[in-house]
């Protein structure tokens, strides 16, 4: 009930400020973020994906190589990146801890897995054949393939993602990210890239890996939930700069921190739990199918 009351107060305060003219939510030059270090990579990734998908489907047929639902996942993940980094949510996140936490969770727990499921490797099909073969040759080099295999090893990927999350929530680093745009950009980049590697490691599609993926999702849910609990129940503000403007939105600094912790603890935990259930279901279904095929082969005529 307390969390619901805080959310209601936040919405009411935001509407009051919007109507008073203090915050112009529809002013794309004020509350929308057009940092070229963000927008240009996003535009390029979206354009390359569309071009690569069109070329692949032209040659192989629609839905082959990348299924329609996978393409839909990629575009949904791409839109969520826009929501997190370009829309007024990012502007608000620089002024309100709760919004900043929502932004981070969108990047790591929603956009990243959707992009991975969408098979972004299809972007290579946007390149010319010689260039595509060149990139493929580089990716098959023993050093490159070995490094990628090490990064996408589930325990390594889980550790790297967890280290990025906890390191950036150290008060000194977190406060530095709020005062320096380049450090803030690096924070978001490390969150996003380690999340991509983490979800890629868990969603590689090998049925024997799904059981382990459930375990690593459980571990991630535990440590992120613990960090959320610390923020929600700590009796003083940990990031004074982040919560400095909370009163402008009808919250005390401590309430802003508590609500941010609740968002990290509960909604993110639901995402990880949901992903674990899906992978567990796939693991059981594929294991059952494999045993069924094995049983049929055992009685097949020789």
The pLDDT tens digits of the residues spanning 166-175 come to: 999 999 999 9
Residue with tokens 């973020």: 33
Residue (of 103, 74, 116) closest to 178 by Cα position: 103
Dihedrals phi, psi of 42, to nearest 5 degrees: -70, -45
How far is 97 from 5, CA to CA, in rounded Å? Answer: 17
Taking the alpha carbons at both ends of the chain, their separation in whole angstroms is: 67
Q: What is the token pair recorded at 99?
A: 């919004």
pLDDT tens digits, one per residue of 196-237: 999 999 987 565 577 788 899 999 999 999 999 999 999 999
Of the pLDDT bands very low, low, confident and very high (cuts 50, 70, 90), residue 299 is: very low
Q: Specify the DSSP class assigned to residue 121.
A: G
Residue (of 100, 85, 104, 89) closest to 43 by Cα position: 85
pLDDT tens digits, one per residue of 95-140: 899 999 999 999 999 999 999 999 999 999 999 888 888 888 888 8
The number of CA neighbours under 13 Å toward the Cβ of 191 is 27
Query: Tell me, what's the pLDDT at 280?
Result: 85
């Amino acid at each position: 009930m307390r969390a619901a009351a805080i959310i209601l107060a936040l919405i009411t305060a935001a509407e009051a400020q919007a109507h008073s003219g203090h915050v112009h939510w529809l002013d794309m030059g004020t509350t929308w973020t057009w940092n070229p270090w963000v927008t240009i990579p996003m535009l390029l990734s979206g354009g390359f994906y569309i071009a690569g998908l069109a070329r692949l489907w032209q040659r192989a047929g629609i839905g082959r190589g990348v299924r329609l639902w996978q393409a839909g996942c990629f575009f949904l993940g791409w839109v969520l990146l826009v929501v997190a980094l370009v829309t007024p949510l990012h502007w608000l996140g620089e002024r309100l801890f709760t919004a900043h936490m929502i932004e981070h969770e969108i990047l790591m727990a929603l956009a990243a897995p959707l992009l991975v499921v969408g098979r972004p490797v299809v972007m290579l099909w946007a390149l010319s054949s010689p260039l595509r073969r060149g990139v493929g040759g580089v990716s098959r080099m023993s050093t490159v393939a070995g490094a990628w295999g090490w990064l996408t090893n589930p325990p390594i990927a889980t550790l790297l993602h967890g280290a990025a999350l906890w390191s950036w929530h150290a008060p000194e680093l977190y406060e530095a990210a709020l005062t320096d745009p380049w450090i803030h950009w690096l924070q978001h980049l490390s969150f996003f890239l380690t999340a991509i590697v983490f979800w890629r490691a868990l969603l590689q599609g090998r049925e024997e890996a799904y059981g382990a993926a459930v375990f690593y999702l459980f571990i991630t849910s535990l440590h992120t939930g613990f960090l959320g609990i610390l923020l929600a129940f700590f009796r003083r503000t940990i990031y004074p700069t982040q919560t400095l403007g909370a009163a402008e939105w009808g919250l005390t600094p401590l309430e802003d921190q508590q609500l941010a912790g609740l968002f990290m603890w509960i909604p993110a935990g639901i995402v990880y739990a949901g992903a674990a259930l899906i992978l567990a279901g796939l693991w059981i279904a594929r294991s059952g199918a494999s045993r069924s095929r094995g049983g049929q082969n055992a009685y097949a005529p020789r």
